[in-house]
Amino acid sequence: MKKILIVEDSSAMRSLLISTIEALEGFEIVEAANGFEALRLLPRERVDLVITDINMPDINGLELIRYVRNSAIYKSIPLFIISTESSERDLAKGLALGANEYLIKPFDPADLQKLLLKYLG
């Protein structure tokens, strides 16, 4: 079973992501409410993919991506950004830091499911 780490400060958005992922079979979900929590979870959980928001308290999503991509242990984990930040500059910055995919809120759950199957299916 593949494990996905969701890093999102909005509990409503985490619930939407979880229900979207749970509609597929074969995925286990771990949740973090911010980047700081994600950094505490990563050494304890072997995750196969990270989905993160950008705008979060403490450590934001871009800082989390920078950490993951600079880590010898986690640098190859697929990483998706799901954010309200939708400018070309935001997309370019997220992808340049090493995100594999960038979805803009509100997103189509089917698009997320297709990407999950592409990377983990």
pLDDT given at position 121 = 82
Which tokens hold the place of 99?
A: 């995100």
Whether the full predicted model's pTM is greater than 0.85, yes or no, is yes
DSSP string, 69-119: HH-TTTTTS-EEEEES--SHHHHHHHHHHT-SEEEESS--HHHHHHHHHHH
For residues 102 and 80, the answer to whether their CB atoms sit within 8 Å is yes
Q: What is the mean pLDDT of the chain?
A: 96
For residues 21 and 27, the answer to whether their CB atoms sit within 8 Å is yes
pLDDT tens digits, 90-104: 999 999 999 999 999
- Please, what is the end-to-end C-alpha distance for the chain in angstroms? 10
Dihedral, 17, 51, 56, 102 alpha carbons, nearest 10: -100
Burial class (CB in 10 A: 0-12, 13-18, 19+), 109: middle
pLDDT tens digits, 69-88: 999 999 999 999 999 999 99
